[in-house]
Structure 1
């Protein structure tokens, strides 16, 4: 204990020395230096900073239920530095509560909060009243306690604390130490009785100081004959301390930054109470699946009868191929129900959604499964956490980690295809990228599920061909034919539909690309298909003077800027989906001109593969021929690969913006343009 006190005092002194200000980690005490603080020297961009936060976790024996519970005591003090930091006064505490009677629910209590402001040289302390606190049901199994601390503005210091009591003694919550704003000091402590054996894992990129000691605790437990007697446990006390944690900031191309948060996770591997044998207790996804079978909003919904059986009878499915059947059934579903924009996992209101003709993706997926099964197709849920919610854990399974599912359909004996009720402009295997997770789990009624990687389903590409003529007066007359597939086709449809009408879409195209559209044709825009085709006839003004014409042969550049501008990177890089962009371009050189400068052809590759680009340009028979291919095969890259990825992206961007220079042929140079090729 003396060792811990010494460590704490040392850390507090370090905080003071680092910031050259007087900070305190004592709840209820705020210093003038904290109130006078204008910015945080370690991150001057921070809108707020956590001066300290503590979490003390311990087990206690609850006589009322005759078992152990876990208590979480949380405290925090936050300095608001900028106006947009005021939102840190909005607190939300999730807790498990199905709303049903019984002891399997968590409880939030002892909530207290204060705001401190400096007024006329004096510290004004404002207490939050109880009427600021309310509850809401956030899911079928979770509620939230929410409150907003009053009188908070730029310069305010806020502090709050609460207790969370949980009967789920087997599930120790993750200790998330890093936040989206800097943390000056954090101390998390947990005491685990000797009866519980946990696997403990520290994750993230920030450094934690850890102490692991033994300490005695006494519990009053109820014996089999109903009497209470003291039991002494040689408990394990773990302390995790962090100093000056940087904010966990979103960086370009990261699905969910919380996946890389500095935190401590716990998995119960077994229990051994006095006079009892050791019991393994590791939870598994197979156990989660067994629980889901009994859930009204999931297992029972998979027994839903097809509500559109009569309408399906008119589809003549027997004459269709497997995928044609799936498309026909899905199109019928979309006529009957529309997606309300929300993702969900449970179908507690699916029958209401059927009646109203609108619902979340879970409602639509339960109906879709019932329709597919009715047509003799093997359809099943594929459970997941959407990308923005973070990856499913392999070794720490929990129902609350799941927030939606899509539909898998066995296409052959060994392959499956995927579809989701939220698909509006996609197709089979063309689902929104937020659902293309690398960890999803199939749910089978009669057998254990399995893991599936959805990042590579579907084919996503853009193939364009441009045929154009450069005129002597500095114009380009041309036609572009493009074929979009996969999510590129879905994006095209979405952008087109987002415009008021086709005229507005064409006007936006003209503004974005600096062209004048003379003709526009689009095919397969309204069909449920992985493809869309487009043909555009256009004129474009290009730079010229009396002697030269300057032209980017890409015409419509693929990459115009490098998203990786920072010299360093903390988080891995995660792109949306594998993608291919191909461009073939043939441009006629005007009579009386020849090529003076031509970009160099190049083949570019990442050091460890996964992404490549080829740029081949040459002059043949008084025509400029360009062949450009960019392929992103691997969508995940480590921070170690960031420098080469940044350099690669910058080089490709530069190639996209290089110019051809044409020069007017003078009387001294009357030789016709020769075939030119630069490699």
Structure 2
């Protein structure tokens, strides 16, 4: 009754729901021919607000290999909703007709169900058991969720034959017990007694792990327990090691029919590629761009990232494919042109950090193409790129841990965070009228991610008129003329010229003008008073703005913003604002530089304060007084 009467979770009054109890028990049993892993789950959730009703929709992922070679079975699913009606507890059991399965990959399945009669105030309970043939793999146990957890417990009982490496990480404290255990295993009609290990982890009042802005994958920072099988030592059998090195994973990939074999295939577009006349091109970069553009006109990215590929013949016939499908064809074309190219495998930033110390092929989920135009240089491309250039990758692929897979033990780790420069350089020349209208031109060069973002805006607009209209709305200007170069080309930069008018506030005595005209930071993105997670920026960033303003005749500068230098204590974020006046000319030089991508949560107060100061500086006005 107390749980049903709960209206708010005191430690976090903003919570839409709270997990009151989550129990996980993992153990082993003997199947028909081998061990099976048994995982039992019991969950109790209190819905506090209407938005929390989404926790009545549950998805359970599990594995089922083709032809039932190995699989997992979900057994004993039971779910109920409890509501308080007229002072009485009313229980509504879930019926089987709201439970269904769906295949989400060649070996991955989802079991989904929706618990009925759930509203604000409802208590949800459900339990189930998974019996798995994959006895060598225990799922990571995550102690936190996106809502608070009042109590959670994880029990694992492991027979002595299995040797696991145990790893814990995360900021929240867990009570832990590691003790010896005596086990009885039924093998047919016989009872096998053996020793083992019992692990127990308990968490109390764990905060929600919210998916904050400026974080790629919140799970990277979740308090969790990982068990990695090192080996199996059965009596009378040789010890079998399950520990892998990255070099072994390299070999596994190179031997795989859907990966390594694709690296050996002949160029499927060899004959058509002769029309490019690559032999007449001067540099490798020109050839790479020509080949990439040619391929992208043949095959469209289907917005899916992958590690393995379909048949290239099928991909070309369909005219669409994943980034892996198209990347393998690109590699074959580049090799055919005499340009070495290799896959650089990775875990996407939004899928979690790739563990150096615990090699795992399961952690890999896609790759980009590493190209070697000379013996000493590497450039990177991915077929998901629509609006970029060499070394201008989608930010989700700009990981600091990618591994170039090359034969003959030539694989290597590479960092893709800073492979290209991202620069916006702009110059404004304008005059201010006595009516407070700023009229002039803005010339801007967009490089790297800035060029990619601008091209994307242009491509998603219906036409150039709509693009200009959006620009006018965003910047609060009238666009008199818009000229662009490189907006649709596969090229390193975009040039833009805008002729504009912008109205500022004016009265009988004063004109109020923002000398920046076009703001860099209008408001701080960091609104939270405190933060649990680090701050991750997508890429390094550099902005350089020069504004020259002519003040109208009969006016003088009464007030102008002060020069200011703003930076973090380590100098990795720097903003300069320098304004000068000579006669009727006011010149503002503004620059911003971001050189570091990861800031700890302890750095958050400094970052928050800095961005607030930068936004405030961006919004400061210059006052012109009538003589």
Normalised to the residue count of structure 2, the TM-score between the two structures is: 0.95
CA distance in 2, matches of 1:46, 1:466: 47
Query: Who is 1:413 aligned against?
Result: 375
Q: Which residue of the other structure, out of 139, 147, 151, is the alignment partner of 1:181? A: 147
Q: Which residue of the other structure, out of 247, 264, 279, is the alignment partner of 1:318? A: 279
Contact 2:28/2:159 (CA < 8 Å) preserved in 1?
Answer: yes
Contact 2:346/2:402 (CA < 8 Å) preserved in 1?
Answer: yes
| CA positional deviation for 1:277 | 6.9
- Superposed CA deviations along residues 287-309 of structure 1, whole A, max 9, x for unmatched, are 33333344443233334432222
Query: Who is 1:334 aligned against?
Result: 296
Does 2:36 correspond to 1:69? yes
| CA positional deviation for 1:233 | 2.7
CA distance in 2, matches of 1:51, 1:349: 49
- Superposed CA deviations along residues 278-324 of structure 1, whole A, max 9, x for unmatched, are 66542333333333344443233334432222210111112222111
Residues 180-199 of structure 1: matches in 2 within 5 Å?
180-199=146-165
Does 2:65 correspond to 1:98? yes
CA distance in 2, matches of 1:494, 1:514: 21
Contact 2:268/2:313 (CA < 8 Å) preserved in 1?
Answer: no
Measured at CA, do residues 100 and 457 of structure 1 come closer, stay the same or move farther in structure 2, by a change above 3 Å? farther
Query: Who is 2:243 aligned against?
Result: 282
Contact 1:286/1:448 (CA < 8 Å) preserved in 2?
Answer: no
- Superposed CA deviations along residues 354-385 of structure 1, whole A, max 9, x for unmatched, are 21111222221122122222222222211122
Query: Who is 2:96 aligned against?
Result: 130
CA distance in 1, matches of 2:552, 2:566: 31
Does 2:224 correspond to 1:255? no
CA distance in 1, matches of 2:288, 2:433: 51
Give secondary structure in 1 for the equivalent of 2:55. Answer: helix
Query: Who is 2:406 aligned against?
Result: 444
CA distance in 1, matches of 2:385, 2:611: 31
| CA positional deviation for 1:350 | 5.1
Measured at CA, do residues 472 and 382 of structure 1 come closer, stay the same or move farther in structure 2, by a change above 3 Å? same
**Structure 1: runs of 5+ lacking an equivalent:** 1-31, 223-227, 666-679
- Count of residue correspondences: 626
Q: Mean alpha-carbon deviation: is it higher for 241-250 or for 199-208?
A: 199-208
Q: Which residue of the other structure, out of 366, 390, 397, is the alignment partner of 1:404? A: 366
- Superposed CA deviations along residues 390-413 of structure 1, whole A, max 9, x for unmatched, are 112223333332222211111222
Does 2:594 correspond to 1:625? no
CA distance in 1, matches of 2:472, 2:480: 10
Contact 1:350/1:359 (CA < 8 Å) preserved in 2?
Answer: no
CA distance in 2, matches of 1:163, 1:47: 27
CA distance in 2, matches of 1:182, 1:348: 42
CA distance in 2, matches of 1:92, 1:289: 33
Measured at CA, do residues 350 and 130 of structure 1 come closer, stay the same or move farther in structure 2, by a change above 3 Å? farther
Contact 2:485/2:496 (CA < 8 Å) preserved in 1?
Answer: yes
| CA positional deviation for 1:266 | 1.6
Give secondary structure in 2 for the equivalent of 1:249. Answer: coil
CA distance in 2, matches of 1:120, 1:351: 66
Measured at CA, do residues 323 and 85 of structure 1 come closer, stay the same or move farther in structure 2, by a change above 3 Å? same
Does 2:23 correspond to 1:54? yes
Residues 579-618 of structure 1: matches in 2 within 5 Å?
579-618=541-580
CA distance in 2, matches of 1:87, 1:354: 41
Q: Which residue of the other structure, out of 112, 129, 134, is the alignment partner of 1:146? A: 112
CA distance in 1, matches of 2:257, 2:88: 57
Contact 1:615/1:626 (CA < 8 Å) preserved in 2?
Answer: yes
Q: Mean alpha-carbon deviation: is it higher for 68-77 or for 279-288?
A: 279-288
Q: Which residue of the other structure, out of 179, 194, 199, is the alignment partner of 1:213? A: 179
Query: Who is 1:29 aligned against?
Result: none
Give secondary structure in 2 for the equivalent of 1:250. Answer: coil
Give secondary structure in 2 for the equivalent of 1:355. Answer: helix
Query: Who is 2:306 aligned against?
Result: 344
Contact 2:436/2:513 (CA < 8 Å) preserved in 1?
Answer: no
Does 2:419 correspond to 1:457? yes
Query: Who is 1:504 aligned against?
Result: 466
Give secondary structure in 1 for the equivalent of 2:569. Answer: coil
CA distance in 1, matches of 2:120, 2:309: 43
Measured at CA, do residues 394 and 283 of structure 1 come closer, stay the same or move farther in structure 2, by a change above 3 Å? same
Q: Which residue of the other structure, out of 126, 138, 161, is the alignment partner of 1:172? A: 138
CA distance in 1, matches of 2:240, 2:269: 49
| CA positional deviation for 1:230 | 4.3
- Superposed CA deviations along residues 323-368 of structure 1, whole A, max 9, x for unmatched, are 1111111111111111122222222465433211112222211221
Q: Which residue of the other structure, out of 254, 263, 274, is the alignment partner of 1:302? A: 263
Contact 2:268/2:312 (CA < 8 Å) preserved in 1?
Answer: no
- Superposed CA deviations along residues 639-658 of structure 1, whole A, max 9, x for unmatched, are 12212211211211121111
| CA positional deviation for 1:633 | 0.9
CA distance in 1, matches of 2:511, 2:403: 57
Normalised to the residue count of structure 1, the TM-score between the two structures is: 0.88
Does 2:225 correspond to 1:264? yes
Measured at CA, do residues 572 and 181 of structure 1 come closer, stay the same or move farther in structure 2, by a change above 3 Å? same
Contact 2:29/2:35 (CA < 8 Å) preserved in 1?
Answer: yes
Give secondary structure in 2 for the equivalent of 1:248. Answer: coil
Residues 69-88 of structure 1: matches in 2 within 5 Å?
69-88=36-55
Measured at CA, do residues 179 and 501 of structure 1 come closer, stay the same or move farther in structure 2, by a change above 3 Å? same
CA distance in 2, matches of 1:301, 1:59: 39
CA distance in 2, matches of 1:444, 1:231: 47
| CA positional deviation for 1:580 | 0.5
Give secondary structure in 1 for the equivalent of 2:472. Answer: helix
Query: Who is 2:253 aligned against?
Result: 292
**Structure 2: runs of 5+ lacking an equivalent:** none
- Superposed CA deviations along residues 410-435 of structure 1, whole A, max 9, x for unmatched, are 12223211111111111111111111
